Amino acid sequence: MPRRPAALAGAAILALASAAPAAAQNPLDFLFGRSKEQQNTAPAKPAAPAPAPAATPVPPKRPATAAAEPAAPPSPAPPAAPSAPVVTAAAPASPAAPGAPLTDKQIVERANAYFNAITSLVGDFTQIGGDGRRLSGNIYLQRPGKIRFEYAAPATLEVIADGNSVAVRDRKLATQDLYAIAQTPLKFLLRERIDLGRDLKIVEVAPENDGVRVAVEDKSTLGGTSKITLYFDKDVTNLTRWRIVDPQGFQTTVSLANLERNARVDPKLFAISYERILNER
């Protein structure tokens, strides 16, 4: 099947829009097919949290003062036996201050460290579109450049990036459409080295229930700016989900579960056939 022009390439990777039914006439409906009536308005940007007040410094405890020197004995009295030495107990250490909340800089640094420590990732995902439609499946990632979303039935689609292109396959319709990976959101996730502050514009770092979120903008996606929000646990040691709002305002949330990092992944999972249309399995 001939490659689609780059003008269609915007949101192919990582399921930007909610899923159309498996019987959709065109597998691109899965990514681009929602009408404006289905558009979900992106939530207003929440106000940045007020900075935590600085902790009041606590002066260190001073050790007990040494006992005063004993007075000299009267001259007529015989010398007194030496008294036992006075032992001063050490002052207890000040209790450790409760862990201060991470600064914005620390959150971003930890997010970068999390991503850069991953060579591969295997797990489950659940995708919810702005219209409430829900799909699930398996995710496979091999950095740099490779990712696969394998949707569970009744969906018949696969989204695969092989480092050069993104393929959207429909097993039922035996079709395959190709897109440019460079114009897709979250392409930064596939880089060999990730630096959120360099690769994207960070617009917000804020607490989120039991975790934190980092909101970024990617102006290089086709059609305009995509807004991407990454959600981590409170220590920024696990990515729990992401939300994408594409240039048209379509919103998709992908939640992750049962993640296994740096597991061995079969490279065949990321193979794209450029010579033939995918046959129905």
pLDDT for 227 equals: 92
> The tokens of 169 are what?
């396959």
Contact at 8 Å (CB) between 147 and 161? yes
Q: What is the pLDDT of residues 16-60, one digit of tens each?
A: 333 333 333 233 333 332 333 333 333 333 344 444 444 444 444
> The tokens of 118 are what?
């991953």
Q: What is the average pLDDT across 181-194? A: 85
pLDDT for 33 equals: 28
Check pLDDT > 50 for residue 149.
Answer: yes
Lowest mean pLDDT among 3-17, 76-90, 97-111, 125-139: 3-17
Residue 276 or residue 17, greater confidence:
276
On whether residue 59 sits in a domain, the answer given is no
149 - beta bridge partners?
139, 159
Range of the domain at 184: 6-35+102-270
pLDDT for 8 equals: 31
Number of domains in the chain: 1
On whether residue 47 sits in a domain, the answer given is no
214 - beta bridge partners?
205, 230
On whether residue 95 sits in a domain, the answer given is no
In this prediction the pTM is 0.65
Domain CATH for 151: 2.50.20.10
On whether residue 106 sits in a domain, the answer given is yes
Band of the pLDDT at 145, cuts 50, 70, 90? very high
The Cα–Cα gap between 136 and 45 comes to 28
Across all residues in the chain, what is the average pLDDT?
A: 72
